[in-house]
Structure 1
Amino acid sequence: MPRIVGIEVPKEKRIEVALTYLFGVGPATSRRVLSVTQIDPNKRAKDLTDEEVSKLTQTIQATAKVEGDLRREVTANIKRLIDIGSYRGLRHKRGLPVRGQRTRTNARSRKGPRPRVGVRKRTTRPVTGSGPART
């Protein structure tokens, strides 16, 4: 597996697809980087030379924020929203949808599983001889 920007990309995939395994690189960025570096998008990742890998790494680092830098920036932006007390920050803090989606129903992936109320496993009680006789 070739290492591009410190991340192992799948070797059997076309390089155009393999680059999208980097956080912050989508299909459009992948095509743009390959056209700048003049590498065939249909080439498999395992067939890249060391020179091509270094060229890709340099181009990606020069044109886009990827992996750790981008993750840190996103986290810092969310923290800033929370710190200034904006509406979006409050939604992030409470774990609710941020972009105006409804929450009366749905929004389960953001809110997590429903709290289970009144569900208790019943223990079987031994039958005693007291009470009216049943026939």
Structure 2
Amino acid sequence: MSEQQFRYIVRLFGQDVDGTVKTPYALAMVKGIGYNTARGILMKIGIDKDKRLGELSDSELKKIEEALSDHAIKYLPSWMYNRRKDYESGRDTHLVTSDLIFYVRNDIEREKRIRSWRGIRHMYGLKVRGQRTRTTGRTGTTVGVKRSKGAQLQQQSSASSSSGGQAKK
């Protein structure tokens, strides 16, 4: 058996991943794969989770890529997929890297086109998921709250009377 060279950079799903990191964390660096999904894939394939990614052989790396080859993780339940009940096909799929970015962009464009609530929020660059917008998410030169003249005059008069009382002591 020939000793395989340790690889510091491994090409996985079309992107470079650090080979010095343990395998589940290295898989989690790929867009669309989280830590728990990575652990599930490694368990089902039979690869040790404590190995570094650079220590894996070519056949083991090929097994990992084949596990996600047809937009589905073989042997894992569908609730672990990141795109359940696809809008166009109705199937449960799991997307990674550029496929995931492409489908999310298409979903946003579809929502804008049909003028749904979420689509309108995306169009105007506002928060989409129900977050507060009164004080956060401000862009541009907005600094704070503008006060009315009555409140400013009242504040100035109270400040001058309190400072005058301290000066007499």
Shorter-chain TM-score: what band?
0.7 to 0.9
Equivalent-residue separation in structure 2 for 1:40 and 1:60 (angstroms): 18
TM-score by length of structure 1 reads: 0.79
Per-residue CA deviations over 1:90-110 (Å, capped at 9, x if unaligned) read: 0001110001111110124xx
TM-score by length of structure 2 reads: 0.63
1:8: how far off?
1.2
Greater than 3 Å deviation, 4+ residue runs: none
Per-residue CA deviations over 1:65-92 (Å, capped at 9, x if unaligned) read: 1011111000000000000001110000
In the other structure, the counterpart of 1:13 is 21
Q: Give the one of 29, 43, 52 matched to 2:51.
A: 43
Identity %: 37
For structure 1, the residue ranges without an aligned partner over 5 or more in a row are: 118-135
RMSD: 1.4
Aligned length: 113
Does 2:144 match 1:115? no
Change (3 A) 1:61 1:115: farther
Contact 1:14–1:41 (Cα < 8 Å) also in 2: yes
Equivalent-residue separation in structure 2 for 1:56 and 1:34 (angstroms): 8
Does 2:109 match 1:79? yes
In the other structure, the counterpart of 1:129 is none
Q: Which has the higher contact order (CA 8 A, sep 6+)?
A: 1
Matches within 5 A, 1:50-89: 50-62=58-70, 63=73, 64-89=94-119
